Structure 1
Amino acid sequence: MRRLIAFLILLATLGSGGTAAAVLRAHLARPHRGTQVHLSPYTIGPESEREVCQLVTLRNARAFDASEIDVSMPGSPEFGTHHFAIFLDVRDTPAPPQPEPVSDVGCTGMGGAVVPPLLAFVQHPRERIRFPLHVGVRLKPHQRLFLNSHYINGSAAPITIDVAVNFSAARKGSVQHHARSFQLGTFDIDVPPGAEGSAVGSWTTRFPINVIALSSHSHKHTQSVTVDLLRAGVSAGQQLLTTDYADPSVHSYDPPLRLEAGDGWRWICDYLNMTPGTLRFGVTSNDEMCFATGFFYIDDDAAPLPPVPGCFGQGESLTCPFS
Structure 2
Amino acid sequence: MIPPPKIRPIFALAVASLLIVPGAARAQTASSDFNDDGKVDFNDFFLFAGAFGSSGAKFDLSGNGKVDFDDFFLFAQRFGAPPDAPAPDTFRELQTRVFNRNCLSGSCHTSERRAGDLVLEEGFAYENLIGVKPGNPAAAAADLLRVDPGHPERSFLLTKLTGPGPGQGDLMPRGASGLRGVEIDALRAWVQAGAPRVGLVPDAPRLEDLSTDLAVRFTPPAPPERGIQLRLGPFGVPPGREREVFSVVRPTLDRDLLVNRVEIIMPEGSHHFILYLWTGRTPPPEPGIRDFDPRSPMGIVDIFNRQFVTGSQTSATAYAFPDGVGLRIPRSAVFDLNSHFINLRGRETLMGEVYVNLHEAPPAAALQAVEPLFDSNFAINVPPGQTTAISQTWTARQAIKVITLSSHMHRHGERFTVETLRDGKQIYESTDWDDPEVLNFNPPLTLQAGDGLRYTCTHRNQDRDAPLRFGFTSEDEMCIMFGYYYR
TM-score range for the pair, normalised by the shorter chain length: 0.7 to 0.9
Q: Return the alpha-carbon distance in structure 1 between the equivalents of residues 291 and 331 of structure 2.
A: 27
Determine the structure 2 residue equivalent to 1:151.
341
Q: Distance in 1 between matches of 2:429 and 2:308?
A: 23
Is 1:293 the counterpart of 2:482? The answer is yes
Structure 1 residues 202 and 97, CA gap change in structure 2 (3 angstroms):
closer
CA separation of 1:91 and 1:272: change in aligned 2, threshold 3 A: closer
Structure-2 separation of matches of 1:264 and 1:93: 32
* Further displaced range: 191-200 or 238-247: 191-200
Say which structure is richer in helix: 2
**How far apart, CA to CA, are the structure 1 residues paired with 2:411 and 2:282?**
40
**2: CA distance, partners of 1:245 / 1:93:** 34
Deviation readout 1:61-81 (Å, 9 max, x if unpaired): 332211011000001xxxx21
SS of 1:117's equivalent in the other structure is strand
Identity between Structure 1 and Structure 2 (%): 34
Once the two structures are overlaid, the 10-residue window that deviates more, 209-218 or 193-202, is 193-202
Q: Is the 8 A contact 1:26 1:163 kept in 2?
A: no
Tell me how far apart the structure 1 counterparts of residues 281 and 477 of structure 2 sit (CA, whole Å): 35
Corresponding residue number in structure 2 for 1:222: 413
Q: Unaligned stretches of 5+ in structure 2?
A: 1-211
2:274 maps to which of 85, 90, 103: 85
Change (3 A) 1:62 1:40: same
Give the structure, 1 or 2, with the largest relative contact order (CA under 8 Å, sep 6 or more). 1
Deviation at 1:109, TM superposition (A): 4.5
Deviation per CA, 1:6-53, whole angstroms, max 9, x where unpaired? xxxxxxxxxxxxxxx955345212212212121121111212211111
Matches within 5 A, 1:52-63: 52-63=245-256
| Aligned pairs (5 A) from 1:181-220 | 181-220=372-411
Q: Does 1:49 align with 2:238?
A: no
Q: Deviations over 1:91-121 (max 9, x none)?
A: 79986741x21012697545xx724111112
Asked whether the equivalents of residues 187 and 281 of structure 1 are also in contact (C-alpha less than 8 Å), the reply is yes
User: Please, which of 119, 126, 129 is the counterpart of residue 309 of structure 2?
Assistant: 119
TM-score of the two chains, using structure 1 as the length reference: 0.77
CA distance in 1 between counterparts of 2:280 and 2:455 reads: 33
Aligned letter for 1:82? H
Identify, as 1 or 2, the structure richer in strand: 1
Q: Distance in 2 between matches of 1:220 and 1:242?
A: 13
Q: Report the secondary structure of 1:86's partner residue.
A: strand
Q: Structure 1 243/210 Cα, relative in aligned 2: closer, same or farther at 3 Å?
A: same
Which whole-Å CA distance do the structure 2 matches of 1:30 and 1:185 have between them? 32
**1:303 corresponds to which residue?**
none
Q: Distance in 2 between matches of 1:217 and 1:127?
A: 15
Letter in 1 for 2:251: L
Aligned twin of 2:365: 174
Alignment partners' CA distance in 1, 2:396 and 2:375: 11
Matched-pair contact (CA < 8 Å) for 1:197–1:271: yes
From 206, 218, 221, the counterpart of 1:28 = 221
Q: Give the Cα–Cα distance (whole angstroms) in 1 for the partners of residues 300 and 386 of structure 2.
A: 32
Bigger-Rg structure (1/2): 2
For residues 179 and 288 of structure 1, the distance between their equivalents in structure 2, rounded to whole angstroms, comes to: 29
Secondary structure in 1 matching 2:421: strand
What corresponds to 1:131 in structure 2?
321
Match of 1:74 in 2: 267
**TM-score under structure 2 length normalisation:** 0.52
Deviations 1:171-190 (A, max 9, x none): 11414311111122212212
Q: 1-side partners of 2:346 and 2:314: how far apart?
A: 18
Q: Which amino acid aligns with 1:281?
A: F
Q: Amino acid of the residue matched to residue 245 of structure 1?
A: W
Superposition RMSD in Å? 2.3
Alignment of 1:271 with 2:462, yes or no, is: no
Paired residues in the alignment total 268
After TM superposition, the structure 1 = structure 2 runs for residues 296-311 of structure 1, keeping only pairs within 5 Å, are 296-298=485-487
Distance 1:212 1:26 in 2: 31
- For residues 283-307 of structure 1, the C-alpha deviation after alignment (integer angstroms, 9 at most, x for no partner) is 1111111122111112xxxxxxxxx
User: Could you list the per-position Cα deviations for residues 149-181 of structure 1 after superposition, in whole angstroms to 9, with x for gaps in the alignment?
Assistant: 011113122222211110111011414311111
Distance 2:290 2:364 in 1: 38
